[in-house]
Amino acid sequence: GGGIRVLQVDSIYAKYGRVQALNGVSLQLKEKSIVALLGANGAGKSTILKTITGLLKPYQGTVSFLGERIDRLAAERIVTKGIVMVPEGRQIFPESTVMENLLLGSYTRKDRAQVKQDMEYVFSLYPILAEKTRNLAGTLSGGQQQMLAIGRGLMAKPRLLLLDEPSMGLAPIVVQEIFRIIKEINHNGTTILLVEQNARMALAISDYAYVLETGRVSCEGTPDILQKNEEVLKSYLGG
């Protein structure tokens, strides 16, 4: 269908020194969609997130956000435009409280009333955080820390939320809960790019997916189509 194109990545190439990491990757996200980026270790998933957030400049190709080229902008500028990344490994501040961690997500905002409302929203998604606002973040369980990281991202009021491996290191039951909440955040209107090694779970909640192999998109499509693809079945769904 239609829908505003929130993100458009056009044939980007990137490298680390002499290591070629991306070899002409193109992808797009429509407003309010949830799109999965799948692939094995080293396929280039994190590198794509770095080029979108401005931490790594592609040497060829373009990245556009809401119709504007952003691939030459500094990372700080890109954040203020509304692209918010929740990094892999739940990089919260363990020695700060849950409340302090959440407020860090909103530090550039001046709309106090709206910030308060967004915090209530985070608590409604995951009420345990509301009970633990004064606890040190480092004392939370793995799943709670992951939800704190996502909550901190939401406090920045993202127009595009990038999630890097939210299932990493979590028990299956916890992963299920996190994915249910990710889907709810998407339902509430947030556009999401979800990087995952857990292809099965990611496909279950996504509208569309790209499979990455050695810096290229090897296949793409709706979950229905990809779940029937022999290569995807064999390599990523253990079938």
Residues of this chain that interact with ligand ATP (CB under 6 A) are 16, 19, 21, 39, 41-47
Residues found in the chain: 239
Helices in the chain by DSSP H: which ranges?
Answer: 45-53, 75-81, 98-104, 112-125, 128-131, 142-154, 172-187, 199-205, 223-226, 230-236
Residue 88: CB minimum distance to ligand ATP, A: 7
Residues 28 and 181: beta-carbon distance below 8 Å: no
Of the pair 42, 221, the CB lying nearest ligand ATP is at 42
* Residue closer to ligand ATP (CB basis): 47 or 144: 47
The least distance separating ligand ATP from the CB of residue 3, rounded to whole angstroms, comes to 27
Q: Rounded to the nearest whole angstrom, what is the least distance from the CB of residue 42 to ligand ATP in the complex?
A: 4
In the complex with ligand ATP, the residue whose CB is nearer, 63 or 155, is 63
Q: Smallest distance, Å, CB 46 to ligand ATP?
A: 3
**The residue to which tokens 């680390």 are assigned:** 16
Sheet-wide strand order for 68-69: 19-30, 5-16, 60-65, 68-69
Measured from the CB atom, is 137 or 217 closer to ligand ATP? 217
User: Distance of CA 163 to CAs 15, 102, 117, 130, Å?
Assistant: 22, 16, 22, 22
Closest CA to 218 of 199, 204, 205, 201: 199
19 or 225, CB closer to ligand ATP? Answer: 19
Query: In whole angstroms, how far apart are CA 50 and each of 47, 88, 116, 141?
Result: 5, 12, 30, 27
User: Minimal distance in Å, beta carbon 45 to ligand ATP?
Assistant: 3
